[in-house]
Amino acid sequence: MASTIKPRAQHKGGYVVLKLIISHPMETGLRKNPDTGAVIPAHYIRELKVQHGDTLLAQLLAGPGVSKNPYIQLRIEQLPVGTDLQISWLDNRGQQDSTTVTVTG
Amino acid sequence: MKRRTLLQSSLAAGLLGVAAGAGLLRPTTVWAAWPQSAFAAGSVEQALQHLAGATQLEQSDVVRLKAPPIAENGAVVNVLASAKISGVEAITLLVENNQTPLVVSAQFSPQMRPYLKTRLKMAKTGNVIAVVHANGKLYSARRKVKVTMGGCGG
């Protein structure tokens, strides 16, 4: 199955720009189904990690206030072109996904 | 014998998770404890108290916060927060008038530039607040965003 994470890591000379778009509903648990009136249960990413091998570079602690299909942009130093980064997320239902992205020049 | 070992492993993993969640970024594949009470808090002050153990904010121009003056769609508001100082451990974003103001807290290793760009939901017009955690202090900036159509649902 294709990853829910679409990453791009580009070296800008001095730092790497990491852009992520993640497919995830980020439901607040406050919305109601317009047809049935039933509350749509909360379903959102709680944690997102950016790792380089054993090193945890960044960890985002998130809630449903982040927009649907989260867009995240970060800047990372000391990462040469060709470095592999591991991106992973965990949501409130225990679902997870991860992917690897290589830094391009 | 095997069952006892399994339970002990779960406890160890839980403790590791709590330690990691205390704000210390370690090279680890164990997920840090998600700060439930901070995300459930109904005010900015309570959220920061649970998240950072402090509420004293220094309004400061070391924090740069970009948010649109008017957001047509409260479900998707572009926000950029960055800092002009070194030693930044985290950047946290809050939306003052959301039912639960804490949106996201990005914990950074020293290799990260203090920079976070994302999209967040706003229930109604009000302030977006960026808090920079650095050198034992909390610095903040806020921007008022007028929301035409609320974006939290309901």
A51, A67, A72: residue with CB nearest B75: A67
B49 CB-side CA count, 13 A: 8
Cα of B75 to nearest chain A Cα, Å: 6
Are the beta carbons of B120 and A67 separated by less than 8 Å? yes
The Cα B6–Cα A41 span in angstroms is 31
Are the beta carbons of A67 and B76 separated by less than 8 Å? yes
Res. B58 pLDDT band, cuts 50 70 90: confident
Cα of A1 to nearest chain B Cα, Å: 23
Q: Is the pLDDT of residue B110 over 50?
A: yes
Contact in structure between A64 and A37 (CB atoms under 8 Å): no
**ipTM of the complex as predicted:** 0.96
Phi, psi of B152 (to 5 degrees): -105, -5
Q: B54 vs B26, which has greater pLDDT?
A: B54
The low-confidence residues of chain A, meaning pLDDT below 70, are: 1
Q: Which residues pair with A32 in a beta bridge?
A: A39
Q: Which two tokens stand for residue A16?
A: 């790497």
Res. B31 pLDDT band, cuts 50 70 90: low
Residue-level length of chain A: 105
The mean per-residue pLDDT over the stretch B18-46 comes to 71
**H-run or E-run covering B36:** helix B36-40
The mean per-residue pLDDT over the stretch B49-59 comes to 89
Q: Is the pLDDT of residue B122 over 50?
A: yes
pLDDT confidence of residue B75: 96
Cβ neighbours around A74 below 10 Å, total:
25
- Calculate the alpha carbon distances from A89 to A62, A94, A100, B32, B42 in Å: 10, 10, 12, 12, 25
Q: B73 vs B5, which has greater pLDDT?
A: B73
Contact in structure between B54 and B48 (CB atoms under 8 Å): yes
Are the beta carbons of B113 and A63 separated by less than 8 Å? no
Chain B positions contacting chain A at CB under 8 Å are 25-29, 31-32, 34-35, 39, 75-77, 95, 98-109, 111-113, 115-121, 151-154
Closest CA to A51 of A32, A11, A31, A79: A79
Q: Tell me, what amino acid is at B73?
A: N
The mean per-residue pLDDT over the stretch B39-61 comes to 92
B36 CB-side CA count, 13 A: 3
Are the beta carbons of B34 and A47 separated by less than 8 Å? yes
Are the beta carbons of A63 and B39 separated by less than 8 Å? yes
The Cα B130–Cα B66 span in angstroms is 10
Res. B153 pLDDT band, cuts 50 70 90: low
A47, A63, A90: residue with CB nearest B103: A63
Contact in structure between A8 and A18 (CB atoms under 8 Å): yes
The Cα B154–Cα B152 span in angstroms is 7
% of chain B residues with pLDDT over 70? 76
Contact in structure between B93 and B120 (CB atoms under 8 Å): yes
